[in-house]
Amino acid sequence: MIRILPDHRVFTATDQERFAELSGDCNPIHMDAVLARREMFGDVVVHGLHLVLSLLDPYCAALDPHPRRLVNLQARFPGSAYLNRTIEYFCKEETGDGAKLTAVTEKQPVAEITFIWIKNREASGQAGKGWETMLPTFPRRPVERLWDQLSGLGGELPLGMDTTLLATLFPALHTRLPLRIQAELLALTRLVGMTCPGLRFVFSAFEMEWSDVPLFSPDPPLFYEVTRADARVSLVRMGI
Amino acid sequence: MDIVTRLKPLFARLLEIDEQSIRPDSSPANVSTWDSLQHINLILALEEEFGVMVDPEDIQRLDTFAGLCAYFEQRMS
């Protein structure tokens, strides 16, 4: 395996707060040590999307500064990443147009991502305005839903983010990837943690594909629908 | 088509392994991609393929290829 530099990271409560501020995912599973202790992971866990972006950012930083556009991104979270523990980053495989990256703690993988991207002609990070206007509309408390309320549930999710904070937390991604793609990724964690399914839920996996999307506009919003909600295995599947 | 023939390609696709490598005793202990997350995906995919709901108490117990084949064969008979 190839090492990504920096090759490890320790997430702190402050990191969690800043990522929650950026993404809008303030689910107490990621923020509140007292409440998290009573939930299935037994302690605060790092947002899955935080791991994804934290893997991608240093990988991007080592590449040439040419703007890129993700075509496909798959992520799995086979384990839990806890605060104040060392998480090591590896590149398992590189192809001409993508890579497989993994985050590992105590020899257990906690995030695995596979992506394909293409070089983009247009500049990325700084282009586009209006991203902050949607921030005040984001919920501040996660919705709590019963299993029988989830089947068929759907809606729309506005896109928005603090682009200055984005540039601070993920500088390499910010300058290379279109804002729309970054906003959609951040919206995924906000959707799962805050809106649908909401409280007590985290990602186990996701796959995103981008084709002809408006790269620099927050419009249209993301539309989502629950395609399966299975209480036996505590699993919700959604289509975006 | 027998159950093993139907199950193998699905199994291979989900666990990202070669069909030829699947043995009756294939399990999380000897298939590195068969983790707890993929186990759930496997069960759900098999349920959809065969139109059978696995009983909650059986979900964790079905942890070998042979065991899964036997379970679905019996449930469908």
Position B63 in a domain: yes
pLDDT, average across residues B62-66: 94
Q: Are A76 and A48 in contact (CB under 8 A)?
A: no
Q: How far apart are the first and last CA of chain A?
A: 33
Hey, which residues 75-94 in chain A have their CB within 8 Å of chain B? 76-78
Residue B21: pLDDT band (50, 70, 90) is: very high
Quick one: pLDDT at residue A75?
A: 96
Domain count, chain A: 1
Q: Are strands A98-105 and A222-230 parallel, antiparallel or unpaired?
A: unpaired
Q: What is the pLDDT of residue A6?
A: 75
Of residues B44 and A64, more confidently modeled: B44
Give residue A235's identity as a one-letter amino acid code: L
DSSP symbol at A131:
G
pLDDT value of position A91: 92
Among A205, A232, A235, select the one facing B56 at the smallest CB separation.
A232
Domain with residue B58: its CATH number is: 1.10.1200
What is the domain extent for residue A218?
A: 2-239
> 3-class DSSP state for residue A74?
strand
Q: What is the pLDDT of residue A96?
A: 82
Question: What pLDDT does residue A161 have?
Answer: 92
Question: Which residue of A lies nearest to B48 if distances are taken between CA atoms?
Answer: A228
The domain of B44 spans 3-16+32-76
Say yes or no: A107 contacts chain B, CB-CB below 8 A: no
Give the global pTM: 0.88
Residue in the structure block whose two tokens are 């993301």: A222
pLDDT at position A119, please? 86
Average pLDDT of adjacent 10-residue blocks, chain A of 240 residues? 78 96 94 87 94 94 86 94 95 91 94 92 61 83 92 93 93 90 94 93 91 79 93 90
Q: Tell me, what's the pLDDT at A217?
A: 82
Contact A226, A150 (CB under 8 A): yes
B23 within some domain: no
At A114, which CATH number? 3.10.129.10
- Residue A235 DSSP label: E
Residue B21 lies in a domain: no
Q: At what angle do helices B36-50 and B3-15 cross, to 10 degrees?
A: 140
Question: Domain tally for chain B?
Answer: 1
Closest chain B residue to the Cα of A204, Cα to Cα: B37
Two structure tokens written together for A134: 């949607």
ipTM: 0.70
Q: Which residue from B minimizes the CA distance to A232? A: B56
